[in-house]
Each structure stands twice: as structure tokens, then as C-alpha cells.
Structure 1
Amino acid sequence: MDLDVFTAAHRAEWDRLEALLRRRRARLSGAEVDELVALYQRTATQLSQLRSSAPDPALINRLTNLVARARSAVVGTRKATWRDALHFFTAAFPAACYRTRRWWVPTALVFTLLTAAFGWWIAANPEVQLAMAAPEQLREMTRPGGSYETYYSSSPAAAFSAQVWTNNAQVAGLSLAFGVLLGLPVLWVLLQNMLNLAAGVGLMASADRLDVFLGLVLPHGLLELTAVFVAAGVGLRLGWTVIDPGPRTRSSALAQEGRAAIGMAVGLAFVLLVSGLIEGFVTPSGLPTWARVAIGVLAEVAFLAYVFVVGRRAAAAGETGDLAAADRAAEAPVAA
């Protein structure tokens, strides 16, 4: 694209649109309103063309502001309502989770297999255990009433839940935000979590107390880890979009997937809030192990049903988790 020729060809339209916008508080004729709408649509398309083929910061900044003002004049401003929140939790968020299932379900399976393998390796090799900590420290961690058990009751339940929720939300947020870096930071986050969990499995198994460890981890860990897997899967998908945007332009693909990822960060924060409440109030409670695990299983089953029933239905209806078409910038068609 020849930027000078393109600018010369369309400058008059942009100037006319700006003139109409300056008069928008005055009374425009019907013909002028039609002209304003037509100029807004053309300018939005031209802005999309410039972004994809001839980036010029000054011109793009001018047209971005012009399109934003025209959009406000044409469609008016819209405030978020409870209906938007209801739509997000009943359609957008579960559909986004369902759409990314081919990324986070394999992630969960690989994570689980590696955790089991490393846990068995640690349990079967005393020299590996000694490389992790001194013998007295290992005994303190794995004995009845040791640090693995008292960790969950080390703080008041409300404060502990808030701390856990904040930490897990940060982990999920990092996976989503840094997925754009080809997914490499996401793999690092997963590796760290896998090694920490495998260490607990291996050390407690070596002390013949694996049942106690699982009884403490499963109530909250099922839902918590699923949320982390979803975040990691979305981050990996975002990283792959950088490599292969498909039929969309790379900027358009990243914008669409990035907007969906931001929405998923909000949704996963609520999921992690539930797991944090379970970890703070159920895990250290005096309930029998079977009851605590049953609560965790019910929470996990409820989330999976939410994704694979509600989310599948919403995705089949065309929901992607992205903003509604009316809230997105106009884009030029792209040939497949």
C-alpha cells in the first residue's frame, strides 16, 4: 500500500467526518446523519487496512480517535449491566472454556501423568529425598501433625482462603497474560506446580501416608488445578495463535483471543474463589475424609458439567467468549 496515495484519496472523507462530528450536538439533517454513518463505516474499514498493511503511528492514532468518536455518535455509549454479567457467566465464559478444551484437557492429562511419575520416582529413591531436604526436615514434613497437615490450618480460615485465592489467581493470570510469549512461560508455571505437587506425593508416599496427603489435597485441588489447566490451555492457545493465526490476520487473531483470555481471567477468578473457600473452610475442617473429598468431587463435577453442557450449548449457538460484535472495532474482510 502506498501510504501517501491512500491518505490523499481518503483525506477529504476523514475531514468531512470530523466536521460532522463537531456538529453532532447541533441538529443534523437526515441526509447528514446517513452520511455520518457511511463515513464512520468506511473510516473503520480503512483503519483496519492501515493497521494490517501500512502501519503509521500518527495516522493510525488520528483515525482511531476519529472512529471512536464516530462510534459514540452513531451507536451512543453503553454501560455494562447485570444482563451483561448474566450473559458472561451463562454463555461467554463456559463457551470460551469449551472452545479451548483441546488445549487444557491434554494439559491436565500430561500434568497428572508427570506428577504421578515424578512422585513415584521420589518415593522409590531415598537419595532423591535426601537431596531435597535433611532427614529431620523430611520427618517433620511427613509425620502425623507435621507441616503438610498443619499447613491448611496455619491461619484463620477466612484469611487463608483470601491468601490462597490471591496466589492462585496470580498463577492463572500469569498463564493467560504471558501465553503470548509463544506459551513458554506457561510451561514454566506448569512445571513448577507439577514438581511441588509431585514432591508432596512422593514424600508422603515414602512415609506410607499418601492417603492422608490426598485427603488434604483432593477437596480443593481438583477444582483449583482444573482452573489452572484451563488458564494454561488458553495461554498455550494464545501462544500458538502468534505462530499460526489461521485465516485471520495475526493482529486480528491475537485481538480476538486476547479479549477472550481477559474474560476468562475474570471467570477463573470466581472458580478459584470457590476452590479457595473449600481449601480454607473444608480441607482443615473436622469432617471425615470421605466427606471432604466428596465436596471436592461435587465441585469439580459441577464445573465440568458447566463447561461441557452449558458451554457446549453456547458454543454451538455461535458464542466464542469474545466481545459482542457491536462492542468490537470493525475489521476489513480477509481472504482465506
Structure 2
Amino acid sequence: MDIDAFAAAHQPSWDRLEELVRRRGSLSGPEVDELVELYQRTATHLSIVRSGTDRLLVGRLSALVARARSAVTGAHTPAWREFARFFTVSFPVVAYRARWWWAGTALAFLAVSLVLGAWVAGDPAVQSAIATPEQIKQLVERDFADYYSEHPATAFAGQVWINNAWVSMTVIASSVLLGLPIPYVLWQNALNVGVTGGLMASRDRLDIFFGLITPHGLLELTAVFLAAAAGMRLGWTAIDPGPRRRAEALAEQGRAVVSVALGLVVVLLVSGLIEAMVTPSPLPTWARIAIGVVAEGAFLAYVAYFGRRALRAGETGDLERAPDLAPTA
């Protein structure tokens, strides 16, 4: 076979294929069909010329076929689109779908904390069993407030972020045990909040307690509640998978829970920054609390808006549904 004559005869189709590959993001339907046809034809040409001695032509066609194959079979979604999809679809829709578990977890936690706080505040015997009067005085007058300002803000923000992320990831990881350890983890946190609040109330320091815990605590606890809700919902899926097969339901819900874990890393970072920079700041108490309320309101509004929109579009938050781009007529 005359390789030069073969190349001259098919050069126009190879040039056309190269042009279509360059413009693959803006092709019309007929052009996509043409791209597929030229790709198949050029792949055949490559198999023919491989038997020849023109290594330069073989290399050129190999590169062209590889690029065309990428265009035909699909290129992965650009990273920025995946990032945007995650924060506008995957994370908020999982949080929104778990809203009743989320709300139930929050109400139960707050109820337990309030009962414990009232019990500790109103019973001196309980206070004595917890600590000595000197230790309680040290806590309410110095230690509680000093905790938020004794370390440099940047280091403290990092420490808080890591600690809160660890608690949330522990809660989510507990879902592999049907979520059974999650109530215990929540109980430990409710116990800490209730006992500390009760001791502060017993010395008429509730203004300091809420003034320091509210700015960051609203968003921080909301993140923990969401992690617990997602984990318990996954555990319940193992018990009641609904109309689908158990393995299929667990796989989908498990991948959706990964969205929560990743999204909460950012939420807890914001909470940690507030705790390190706003909570101990010299701002008036009302201003610090207002910042916390705004951050909490913004997060809930974000979940409600994007989560509801994604749910109406049939999204589940399953990471396997991240789309690939493939040219179609």
C-alpha cells in the first residue's frame, strides 16, 4: 500500500476530526454524529497504517484517535462544576431530606440539656456531687470565660475545628453500627451543656453562659445534630430499606452520608472561626449573639433553598450521580 497516497486521500477527514475535537464543547447534533463517525473511521485507518513503516503517521493518528475517544466516550465534569454541584445539590439535598430526623435530634438534645440544667441549678446536693464550692466558683467566675481567650485565635480556631469535625465524623461513623452509639454521644454532649449551664445558673451567670456559647454554639450544635440525624437515618435504612433491596438502599444512603461528612467540614470551619474570633471579642454581647444568629439563619436558609430545589429535581445526594459529559445527538 502506498502510505503517502493513503494519507493524502484521508487527510481532509482527519483534519475535520481534529477540528471537531477542538470544538467538542459547542457541537451541534449533526456535528456530534459526524464526530462519532469520523472517530470510528479514523480508528480503522489507524489499524491499517500500523502495519506500515511510517511511525510518524502512526503516532499522529494514535494521538488523534485517543483525543477523539475522550470526546466521544465522555470527559469528566470539570472540577469547578463538581465543586459547585456538591454545594448546591449533593450536600443541601441530603441535609434537607434528613430534616425531620435533624429537627427531632435537636429537640431531644435541647430538652435533655434544659432538664439537666434545671436539675443542677436547683439542687445544691447535685452541685456538691459535681464539684466543691471553690471549684464551682473558679469555673463560673474565671475558667468558663477564660477558655475562649487563653489561646491565640488562629491556633484556637484550628483546635476547635479539628475537635468538632472529629465529633461529627465519629457520630457519622457510628452509623455502621445501625446508629446505636449516636444517642450516647449526644447524651455526653447534652450532659456537658446541661451541667455547665446549671452551674452557671446557680451563681446567676446565665448571661455570661449564653453570651459566650450562643455565637458559635448555634451553628456548631446544628452541625452535630445534622451529623447525628444522617447517621441514625442510615442506621434506620438498614432496618427498613423501603421498597428497594436493602443493599441498594444502604449503598445509596451511605454515599449520601459522605456528602454530609464533607459538607460539615466547611460548616464547622465557619463555626470554629466564630468561636475563636467572635466569641472572645470585645464586641457587645448582643452583637456577638447577632453574628451567631445570622450565621445559623444563613445556613438553614441555604439548606432549605438549595435542598428543596434539588429534591424537586429528583436529586438524592448520591455521589455516584455526579454527571459525566458525553456528546449526544
TM-score greater than 0.5 by the shorter chain? yes
In structure 2, the residue matched to 1:228 is 224
CA–CA distance in 2 between the matches of 1:91 and 1:281? 30
User: What is the 5 A alignment of 1:174-185?
Assistant: 174-185=170-181
TM-superposed CA distance for 1:105, in Å, is 0.6
| 2:154 is the counterpart of 1:158 | yes
Q: How many residues align?
A: 260
Q: Which residue of 1 aligns with 2:15?
A: none
Is 1:140 paired with 2:138? Answer: yes
- Is 2:103 aligned against 1:100? no
Which residue is 2:80 aligned to? 82
Distance 1:139 1:154 in 2: 18
Give me the whole-angstrom Cα distance separating, in 2, the residues matched to 1:219 and 1:161: 14
- Structure 2 match to 1:171: 167
Change (3 A) 1:134 1:322: same
How far did residue 114 of structure 1 move? 1.1
1:56 corresponds in structure 2 to: none
- Classify 1:100/1:28 alpha carbon distance in 2 versus 1 (closer, same or farther; 3 Å): farther
Query: 8 Å contact 1:219–1:292 — kept in the other structure?
Result: yes
Q: Report the Cα offset of residue 180 of structure 1.
A: 2.4
TM-score, structure 1 length as denominator? 0.73
Equivalent residue number for residue 283 of structure 2: 287
Q: Secondary structure at the match of 2:76?
A: coil
Residue matched to 1:127: 125
List gaps (5 residues or longer) in structure 1: 1-25, 30-71, 329-336
* Pairwise CA distance, 1:207: 0.4
* Residue 249 of structure 1 pairs with residue 245 of structure 2: yes
Unaligned runs of at least 5 residues, structure 2? 1-41, 46-69, 325-329
**Of 183, 190, 195, which residue of structure 2 is paired with 1:194?**
190
Cα distance in 2 for residues equivalent to 1:157 and 1:241 = 41
Asked if the contact 2:82/2:322 (under 8 Å) is kept, the reply is no
**1:70-100: CA deviations, max 9, x gaps?**
xx9x946636611000011012111111000
TM-score where L is the length of structure 2:
0.75
Query: C-alpha deviations, 1:133-184, integer Å up to 9, x for none?
Result: 12211110012xx100100011100100100000100111111111121211
Pairwise CA RMSD: 2.1
Identity %: 57
Q: Which protein is bigger by CA-based radius of gyration? A: 2
Provide closer, same or farther for how the CA distance between residues 163 and 28 of structure 1 changes in structure 2, counting only shifts above 3 A.
farther
Contact 2:216 2:292 in 1 (8 A): yes
The 1-side partners of 2:258 and 2:322 are apart by 18
CA distance in 1, matches of 2:87, 2:309: 13
CA contact (8 A) 2:121 2:199 kept: yes
Contact 2:178/2:238 (CA < 8 Å) preserved in 1?
yes
Secondary structure, counterpart of 1:319 in structure 2: coil
Distance 1:182 1:27, change over 3 A: same
2:236 to 240, 243, 246: 240
